[in-house]
Amino acid sequence: MTPEELKKRTKQFGLRVFRLVEALPNTFAGRAIAGQLVRSGSSVGANYRAACRGRSKAEFRAKLGIVIEEADESAYWLELIIEGEFLPAERVQPLLAEADEICAIMVASRKNSE
């Protein structure tokens, strides 16, 4: 997968997160999860773009580390949505799978950049 394809994929991930959080219940817990998930989900793409503009391999790897953390955090919030039964699991599961795939891709990219 090329950097441009990954930029597009991580941006689409953020957009899908935005759509999902709109469906969360307007409760204290729903709003708390929505806020956290919006921040981590949109940060994946933003930090990947920053990594692509890294001035060195070390900076690239460091930024990829942030992308990995944010994708993993997004997965955590998505798991909470499923386990807390805030939304049907079948609605959330594809986005959770995408968070896990992005995380795996970024881990492999970071290892390959050493």
User: Where residue 1 falls among pLDDT bands split at 50, 70, 90?
Assistant: confident
* Tokens 């940060």, residue located: 43
Between helix 57-83 and helix 28-52 the angle, nearest 10°, is 160
Does the pLDDT of residue 114 top 80, yes or no? Answer: no
User: Where residue 87 falls among pLDDT bands split at 50, 70, 90?
Assistant: very high
DSSP H helical ranges for the chain: 3-22, 28-52, 57-83, 89-112
- Find how far residue 11's CA is from the centre of its chain: 9
Other Cβ atoms less than 10 A from the Cβ of 7: the count is 15
What are the residues whose beta carbons fall under 8 Å from the beta carbon of 40, sequence distance 6 or more?
A: 70, 71, 73, 74, 77
Domains and CATH numbers, the chain: 3-112 (1.20.1440.60)
Does the pLDDT of residue 35 top 90, yes or no? Answer: yes
Mean of the per-residue pLDDT values of the chain: 96
The residue-averaged pLDDT of 78-88 equals: 98
User: Where residue 54 falls among pLDDT bands split at 50, 70, 90?
Assistant: confident
